[in-house]
Amino acid sequence: MSATPGRGVWVAPGRVNIIGEHTDYNDGYALPIALPQVVTCTAEVTTDGAVRVSSKQHAGQVRESLDGLAESAVTGWARYPLGVVHEYLRRGHELSGVVLEIDGTVPVGAGLSSSAALECAVALAIRDLFGIDADSAELIDIGRAAENSYVGAATGTLDQSASLLCTAGHALFLDFATGDSAQVPFDLAAAGLQLLVADTDTPHRLADGGYGRRRRECEQAAHALGVHSLRAVTDPAAAERLADPVLRRRARHVVTENARVLTVVGLLRDGCDPRAIGPLLTSAHASLRDDFEVSTPELDAAVAAALDAGAHGARMVGGGFGGSIIAVTDIDRTDSIASAIRRRFRDDGFSPPRFFVAVPAAGARRIS
């Protein structure tokens, strides 16, 4: 298809997952919110048969011919947008060439899905500029495929779904078995609460192997239990039948995490005091630490310090192996809880953490 020459600006947000980690690739449930922090993609159609990518956060420009993307040896951050372009080409869409200029405020490596935000901003830009007929479901799949096949990180679709589908003032209830989603009111401020994010400054790298290994272990556990995916297991006792202790722990996390998501969604939909979700977040952290084994000393220290200082609940967020935690705090205690985490990190010899308060924001969109 021929492209209409043009230029525009698109943004896609990072996300915080309230609850539901490592459930997406197990056909389970999750409940993310989009963040005000976004990746911005300024894109322009060209006719030179190449894709050129630059970023305000990185020096230089990457240029690859469209014909050579499949064999590209480019590594690092630029592989994500190149992967999105490659995925459009692989699906049979004709592109004449494009310039992609990237900027962003989503912290990189903090477990807040900066990579998916980048993928979604580029995917929207390519779709709109070249007039491609692709709905949100296909955009989500394009981002997932780029990250799985081109970058080499065996992630699910939680992050792309959150970046594209979230709305302001709501959490997004995702059912990965059916593809269904629903908006759930999430207004902590009305209850005198805030969602504190503490970035532990321990960057995680999902393509380094740990994430993919967990995914394979979940697949092995499902096979051993005779089910297509761990979503089919609803009784935690079923996981105890697994002879392999590692697979038993992995399955137990997924089964109990799905149950926690459903409980949190029920509480929020019923208009309960959001403080009630706090113990479920804390329970999720224990499960991620002990059964899924994706936490770190920094994440554990941040959670413990937040709880000791009066947080209603806290947990690591994202794929693990580094990144951030979230804590549900009373508005008048947020600063003191952040100070307690900061002191704990100083005492333990960790790098100083960074903080911000997360509010549910709008999903990806064109802004000019």
> Which active-site residues does the annotation give?
159
Specify burial of residue 74 (Cβ count, 10 A radius: 0-12, 13-18, 19+).
middle
Q: How many CB atoms lie under 10 A from the CB of residue 343?
A: 12
Cα distance between residue 48 and residue 233, in whole Å? 52
Cα distance between residue 191 and residue 203, in whole Å? 32
Bridge partners of 166, per DSSP, are none
For residues 325 and 195, the answer to whether their CB atoms sit within 8 Å is no
Angle at 322 between CA 85 and CA 303, to 5 degrees: 135
Pairing of β 170-175 and β 354-358: unpaired
